[in-house]
Structure 1
Amino acid sequence: MLFSAIKPMNVSVGKEPFDDDQFIFEPKWDGFRILLHKQGSRIEAYSRSGRAVTSKFPELQDALTAIKAHTAILDCEGIVLRGGRPVFDDFSYRDRISQSGKISSAVHTHPATFVVFDLLYSVREHLKDPLMERKQRLIDIVDSTPVLMPTMFVEGQGKALFELMKERNMEGIVAKRKRSIYVPGARSEEWLKVKYVKSIDVEILGYRMDPFELVIGLNFRTVKHKPVGVVEAGITPSDKELFLTLAAPLCTVKEGNTQWIEPRICCRIDYLDRSDMHQLGTTKFRGFLLDKRPEDCVWVG
């Protein structure tokens, strides 16, 4: 188990925040899932897929003394904090770079923090221990430092934590049943993520007719007009009619069932999910923005 790839336990999707004394509630951190393995003076980091990423994070050497157990496997979220909140793109940058010079510089410009929320192994395997026992062991063996810190959690009060996370522009919360065991690779109903809906202005890059949906895009610092998903829900027949009229002179090429257009029309959407590659999911159309410039539809994260 130690120093070998382990698939982390996954969360299911919850519909709305709730209060329940049988659950604890944690912030949903916006970063990459990382498992840390430590034995003596050796520490290694593995991604969700099992990829070894230790060399990307030299600051992990500073985390060794924060882990008081000789041996441990910790389930974490790797984040980069800006202004007190995690910025997904900053940690994504840390994961992408591989040149040693850039990595050394990024330790200072994009310092990583590993937020620990579970303990899989210390003096023995803890997978079948109830969550609250694992939490107590975790608190006992991990000190909080700028590089490594146990996540905060509250018992029972999911609605209040959800509202606090919304005020702080976090993604949402994760609800975990107190008695839950840890099942590597499983997606459990005992762990639920609850996100709040976000709105964003996007440019329309194309459309599909059956069913009718808009292909939406955003501008990034290094990539312009990047497709980031589709939106179908919320589009009324009058919205469809107006769009097809506006899009008719803008059509370029057709690929499969997608008719691409020049990026001249913008709209506002709601979305709930966002993948590591910035693909937006659970989208809903809110309305056209006929006075907005497409170049102003940018990703801010």
Structure 2
Amino acid sequence: MESMLFASIKPMLATVGDEPFDDEDFLFEPKWDGARMLLHKQGERIEAYTRSGRRVTDKFPELKEAALAIIAEQAVLDCEGVCMNGGRAVFDDFAYRLRLGDSRRIAAAARSHPASWIAFDVLATTREHLREPLHDRKRIVNECIEPSERLSPCAFLMGRGKALYDWTKEHRLEGIVAKRRYSGYQAGVVSADWIKVKHPVEIDAIILGYRMLPVFAFVIGLHFRTVRFKPVGLVEAGISAEQRAAFLGIVAGGLHAKQEGTTQWLKPALCCRIEYRDRSDWHELSGTTFKGFLPDKRVDDCMWTY
């Protein structure tokens, strides 16, 4: 336990699935849209580490309250840090909290964007639990925590992934995570024992450019609060031959700006609707599909939806 407590540990990570499923060998959790964190507690001391191992305790005064909810004398808990708004976790609010460094701004943000943590696994208490099956670790998580506003165990369903997927869509959550109930905890491993299935999201974007090779694709961008025309990804899927030909005919009429490698950048004038399945902490979109051109959409209106 001593080697794990207050040490930087990379958490176990999930693979990506396309569709929800039912399976009695799996339990299913809501996927919360925040940031992965490991909370280490011993006595009155608590420390928080990000997925990359960075210590961020000082950014979250709320951790003192979260520590009171951990009734175990010592524990290493795998959690999602979230900022809730209207019953749902808002990723950008928690990302804002992580960017702050000034103590006065941190104190103000703790009031305006309070953070909380949802614990879904335990790596250690007075002993390591990595090799114990997940359904036993879930029981230990519940034994370690007296739920509070700042820290609570993650709810889950046994075997019924489709029902939970529908529920999370209804409540505008990010999706679900399927976890094999007898699996151990593999720190730092992307494991097929955990499978995340996210809801597709549609957004209107600016076509900033395109490439012809190796596959035809649009370079798409969005406006953010602090930066305009930020590239956020490529879109290859869903573009028909007819749509590609029509697009190339339009941009040939004077929208070309500059060529960089295989990318032809454009003067920002065209918008489109895309669907994406995943988004990085830096708003890079993946699992993208083209849904159609938006000839009446103003470029200035293609904003990231906070």
User: TM-score, length-normalised on structure 2?
Assistant: 0.97
Q: Which residue of 2 aligns with 1:166?
A: 169
Question: In the alignment, is residue 47 of structure 1 matched against residue 62 of structure 2?
Answer: no
The total of aligned residue pairs comes to: 301
Question: In the alignment, is residue 91 of structure 1 matched against residue 94 of structure 2?
Answer: yes
Task: Tell me the SS of whatever aligns to 1:107.
Answer: helix
Q: 1:289 aligns with which of 282, 286, 294?
A: 294
Q: Which residue of 2 aligns with 1:270?
A: 275
Task: Tell me the SS of whatever aligns to 2:275.
Answer: strand
In the TM superposition, what whole-angstrom CA distance separates every residue of 1:259-300 from its partner, at most 9, and x where no partner exists?
A: 111111000111111111101101111110000001111111
Q: Which residue of 1 aligns with 2:260?
A: 255
Q: Which residue of 2 aligns with 1:185?
A: 188
Instruction: Note the C-alpha offset of 1:21.
Output: 1.3
Q: Which residue of 1 aligns with 2:249?
A: 245
Task: Tell me the SS of whatever aligns to 1:61.
Answer: helix
Q: 1:107 aligns with which of 107, 110, 114?
A: 110
Instruction: Note the C-alpha offset of 1:214.
Output: 0.6
One-letter amino acid of the counterpart of residue 144, structure 2: I
Aligned ranges for residues 1-301 of structure 1 at < 5 Å? 1-210=4-213, 211-248=215-252, 249-301=254-306
Task: Tell me the SS of whatever aligns to 1:65.
Answer: helix
In the TM superposition, what whole-angstrom CA distance separates every residue of 1:109-163 from its partner, at most 9, and x where no partner exists?
A: 1111111000111121111111111111110110111111111101111100000
Within 1, Cα distance between the matches of 2:298 and 2:188? Answer: 44
One-letter amino acid of the counterpart of residue 274, structure 2: I
Task: Tell me the SS of whatever aligns to 1:135.
Answer: helix
In the TM superposition, what whole-angstrom CA distance separates every residue of 1:83-131 from its partner, at most 9, and x where no partner exists?
A: 0001110000001111111100000111111110001111211111111
Within 1, Cα distance between the matches of 2:267 and 2:106? Answer: 38
Point out the more displaced range, 237-246 or 73-82: 237-246
User: TM-score, length-normalised on structure 1?
Assistant: 0.98
Instruction: Note the C-alpha offset of 1:236.
Output: 1.2
In the TM superposition, what whole-angstrom CA distance separates every residue of 1:167-195 from its partner, at most 9, and x where no partner exists?
A: 11111100111111001011111111111
One-letter amino acid of the counterpart of residue 93, structure 1: Y
Point out the more displaced range, 233-242 or 45-54: 233-242
Within 2, Cα distance between the matches of 1:212 and 1:138? Answer: 48
Instruction: Note the C-alpha offset of 1:15.
Output: 2.3
Within 2, Cα distance between the matches of 1:212 and 1:136? Answer: 50
Tell me the C-alpha RMSD between the 2 structures: 0.9
One-letter amino acid of the counterpart of residue 6, structure 2: F
Q: Which runs of 5+ in 1 are unaligned?
A: none
One-letter amino acid of the counterpart of residue 292, structure 2: G
One-letter amino acid of the counterpart of residue 221, structure 1: R
Task: Tell me the SS of whatever aligns to 2:204.
Answer: strand
Task: Tell me the SS of whatever aligns to 2:83.
Answer: strand
Within 1, Cα distance between the matches of 2:142 and 2:153? Answer: 7
Within 1, Cα distance between the matches of 2:242 and 2:136? Answer: 57
Within 2, Cα distance between the matches of 1:246 and 1:146? Answer: 54
Within 2, Cα distance between the matches of 1:167 and 1:223? Answer: 32
Task: Tell me the SS of whatever aligns to 1:124.
Answer: coil
Instruction: Note the C-alpha offset of 1:44.
Output: 0.3
